[in-house]
Chains A and B, each alone.
Chain A
Amino acid sequence: MSTTYVWWAIAIYVLASLFVAYLSRSGKQTSMSSYFIGDRKLNGFVSALSYSATTYSAFMLVGLAGLTYMGGVGALGFELIYLMGVSLVAFFGPRFWLVGKKYGYVTPSEMLGDRYDNKAVAIVVSISSCLFLIPYSAVQLAGVGYLLQGMTDNAISFTTGVIIATVLAIVFSFIAGIRSVAWTDSLQSLFMIITSTVVVIIIISKLGGLGDFLHTLETDHYELLTVPGNGFWSFTTFLGMTIPWFFFSLSNPQVSQRLYMPKSLKSLRTMLMGFMIFGFIYTMVAIVWGFSAAIKFPGLENADLATPLLLSSDLIPPILGAIVMVGIMAAAVSTIDSILLTLSSLFARDVYGNLKKGATDTMQLRVGKIVIPIIAILAFLFAKLQVNLIAVLSVASSAGLLVVVPAIIGTFFWKRGTAAGVLTSVIIGGLIVIMIELTQIKPFGLASGIWGIVISTLLYVIVSLLTKAPVKKANEFLGYIKTALKNESR
């Protein structure tokens, strides 16, 4: 693909995003709540688009398309089970939102710390989030590097690509905090979905229309239409991949923090429904993408090459190929900047705010802003180093974050849950996930995420039953939710 096209597409994308980020600066962001959660005043439409951009990364058109290429329709089941799991927001969303507003929570870990009446809970949960999410961001950054390098035949180097992505993520989150992130996310999500959908329509029509496309799959690649099919999607693999993602909307702070931001429950609803529709379309696009690559270029050894090959093939006009490539880059950047902002808020609010005596809101905000570039640079260094452990932690991220799920469910549905239960489940569960990923010893053939959720649930329940629950706080917290829900849904 012509490097000139790629540079032009990147330049236009950067200018348009900067313009939107600049426009988003309204009002003063002088408090933690305004900088990190937009004063709980985000409208539903922007919330939905931003939630979509944050959730969907470069993984969709590269990784998921690759999984489809390799193993077929199981990839669709995997991604759609994740999407069905977002139904958790229909139950937890209003509860997060109500207590967030009532108690002024800025981060999900702050909520856990308060509900379990123990500062160590907030500190440990936020540190474990950083531990798993920084490597995850690093892999996203590296993804941009590989994409640009691969698409331009090394004319744009890996390092240049990683630097561009890092700088953009810092700038988008720094200009106006969550406001610039949400607005640039919205622009990027529209860009991602429109360009990729157009390309998929073009590809299908070039392959003879939908009827021919499905017919070719049924006759020449029938093993891609069933599970386990060619064996890739064995049931244990399917289970091991879907379980961590099913709980993604609760376990990942960069998305669960979003539940505090909409300006009303009506906006929260728009966010949920808008995201589900966006997710459904984007998933279909990625799956068709992978199937098309299987039809057009069967027999590749490295499935991650399916997308770059498709983009530079004669099926797609070169200019459009460059635009879609930038769309994939936008998907990565819009995920990284949100993670960056969330991790900074976790560090400032839960680690610094709890460890430093008398840390005011203003001091926390100052620390949060200083931490943004530091976390970005850490992710950048990890992306450059390509250390083995980083890859392990990144793969383990969805499984590692899963261990906090029992504590989150207990926050809203189990009065007997205790701080000791949370701490043991998160610490021991997290260590077990890392151990399994490092040694690759999988007891009974089950993946780390499944062990993570089972062990952390057991530990949370047993240790909670053995220790004393924060009865007063639990009653007050759950009592408030009960009355507020009644009032809201009258």
Chain B
Amino acid sequence: MKTNEWKWALAIFIIILLAYILPYTIFTGVAKWYGSLLLWIVLTLIVIGINYFISRNWGK
């Protein structure tokens, strides 16, 4: 795997870890729309953005 691929993979891995840990720890008592609901949405949008960057040069 190329070096920058490893960096992206690590970034995605950390975000996914957060998606497991945060809702069950600091957000477990936040019964608001800006709790786990918003968190998961934001993390997913970041991952979609990372995919955009990883695939930016495909076929070019």
Interface, chain A (partner B; CB < 8 A): 73-74, 76-77, 80-81, 83-85, 87, 90-91, 94, 214, 217-218, 222-223, 225-228, 235, 238-239, 242, 246, 264-269, 272-273, 276-277, 280, 284, 413, 485, 488-490
Contact A226 B58 (CB under 8 A): no
Out of A81, A83, A228, A269, name the residue touching B28 (CB < 8 Å).
Answer: A228
A488: contacting residue among B1, B37, B58, CB under 8 A: B58
Q: How far is the CB of B10 from chain A (nearest CB, A)?
A: 12
Q: Which residues of B contact A488 (CB under 8 A)?
A: 58-59
A residues within 8 A CB of B28? Answer: 226-228
Chain A at the B interface: SS class: helix
Given contacts A84-B19, A276-B48, contact A214 B36 (CB under 8 A): no
Closest 4 CB pairs of A and B: A265-B59, A266-B59, A222-B31, A265-B58
Task: Count B interface residues, CB 8 Å.
Answer: 38
Q: Are B44 and A91 in contact (CB under 8 A)?
A: no
Return chain A residues, CB-CB under 8 Å to B48: 273, 276-277, 280
Q: How far is the CB of B28 from chain A (nearest CB, A)?
A: 6
Question: Can you list 23 A-B contacts (CB < 8 A)?
Answer: A81-B16, A84-B12, A84-B47, A85-B16, A87-B51, A87-B54, A91-B1, A91-B9, A94-B58, A225-B33, A226-B23, A226-B30, A226-B31, A226-B36, A239-B20, A266-B60, A272-B51, A273-B52, A276-B48, A280-B45, A488-B59, A489-B2, A489-B57
Taking the closest CB of chain A, its distance from the CB of B6, in whole angstroms, is 10
| The residue from A90, A91, A226, A265 contacting B27, defined by CB atoms under 8 A apart | A226
Q: Separation in Å of the B50 CB from the closest CB of chain A?
A: 7
- B55 at the binding interface (Cβ < 8 Å): yes
With contact pairs A264-B59, A272-B55 given, residues A77 and B9 touching in the complex (Cβ less than 8 Å): no
Q: Are A73's CB and B36's CB within 8 A?
A: yes
Q: Say how far A56's CB is from chain B's closest CB, in angstroms.
A: 16
Q: How far is the CA of A487 from the CA of B38 in the complex (A)?
A: 40
Bound-state CA distance A234–B34 (Å) is 21
CB distance from A164 to the nearest CB of B (A): 35
Q: Across the interface, do A218 and B32 meet the contact criterion of CB distance under 8 Å?
A: yes
Cβ-defined contact, A227 with B24, below 8 A: yes
Contact yes or no, B59 A413, CB < 8 A = no
Find out whether the CB atom of A225 lies under 8 angstroms from the CB atom of B37. yes
CA distance A169 to B12 in the complex (A): 36
A91 touches B31 (CB 8 A): no
Nearest opposing residue in chain B for A486, CB measure: B2
In the assembly, what is the distance between CA of A488 and CA of B19, in Å?
33
Distance to closest chain A CB from B25 (angstroms): 10
Say whether B1 contacts A413, CB under 8 Å: yes
Q: Is the CB of A81 within 8 A of B19?
A: yes
- Which residues of chain B are within 8 angstroms of A246 by Cβ–Cβ distance? 16
- Cα distance, A277 to B51, chains bound together (Å): 11
Q: Contacting B44 at CB < 8 Å: which of A84, A223, A268?
A: A84
Nearest to B48 among chain A residues (CB) is A276
A75 vs chain B, min Cβ distance (A): 10
Q: Report yes or no: A87 in contact with B59, Cβ–Cβ below 8 A.
A: no
4 additional A-B residue pairs with CB within 8 Å, beyond A94-B58, A269-B59: A91-B54, A225-B37, A226-B30, A239-B20
Q: Which residues on A sit within 8 Å (CB–CB) of B33?
A: 214, 217-218, 225
Contacts of A218 in B (CB 8 A): 31-33
The residue in chain B whose Cβ has the minimal distance to the Cβ of A283 is: B44
Return chain A residues, CB-CB under 8 Å to B30.
225-226
A90 to B24, CA, bound (A): 28
Cβ–Cβ contact B2 & A485, under 8 A: yes
CA of A80 to CA of B16, assembled, Å: 10
Contact A80 B41 (CB under 8 A): yes
Q: Are B58 and A227 in contact (CB under 8 A)?
A: no
Chain A residue contacts of B51, Cβ below 8 A: 87, 90, 272-273, 276
Q: Given A91-B5, A218-B33, A228 and B24 touching (CB < 8 A)?
A: yes
